[in-house]
């Protein structure tokens, strides 16, 4: 699993590639949380384009980061999921929490 991050204004773009499971989730969570300590970040965008496998551990990572941002009025988006991963995202209700609007 590889994580690349880019801060654009108040938005953190997290581009993931490889396999996201319970094993790899721990590192991703740790890295993202240390970046999210910067409370000027109000929005996170997960770019899953390079993710070749994801199970429900990935849902934990996405929802966990959203919960961190929500108290500061934050938002999130999840982009470029493959059809298989999209099914899991839909089942878990992640798409109900995303917003297309970028952070002001």
**What b/e string do you get for 4-33 counting C-beta neighbours within 10 Å, with b at 16 or more?**
eeeeeeebbbbbbeeebeeebbeebeeebe
CB of 21 to other proteins, least distance (A): 5
27 binds other proteins (CB under 8 A): no
Total of residues contacting other proteins (CB under 8 A): 22
Taking contact as CB under 8 A, which single stretch among the options 7-15, 41-49, 59-67, 71-79 is the one that binds other proteins? 59-67
Taking contact as CB under 8 A, which single stretch among the options 4-12, 38-46, 51-59, 73-81 is the one that binds other proteins? 51-59
CB of 23 to other proteins, least distance (A): 4
21 binds other proteins (CB under 8 A): yes
Q: Which residues bind other proteins (CB under 8 A)?
A: 19, 21-23, 25-26, 29, 53, 55-57, 59-61, 63-64, 83-84, 87-88, 91-92
């Amino acid at each position: 699993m590889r994580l690349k991050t880019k801060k654009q204004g108040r938005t953190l773009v997290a581009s993931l590639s490889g396999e996201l499971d319970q094993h790899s989730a721990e590192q991703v969570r740790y890295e993202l949380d240390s970046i999210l300590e910067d409370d000027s970040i109000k929005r996170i965008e997960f770019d899953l384009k390079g993710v070749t496998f994801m199970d429900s551990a990935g849902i934990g990572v996405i929802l966990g980061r959203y919960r961190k941002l929500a108290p500061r009025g934050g938002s999130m988006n999840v982009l470029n999921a493959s059809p298989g991963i999209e099914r899991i995202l839909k089942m878990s209700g992640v798409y109900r929490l995303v917003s297309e609007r970028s952070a002001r």
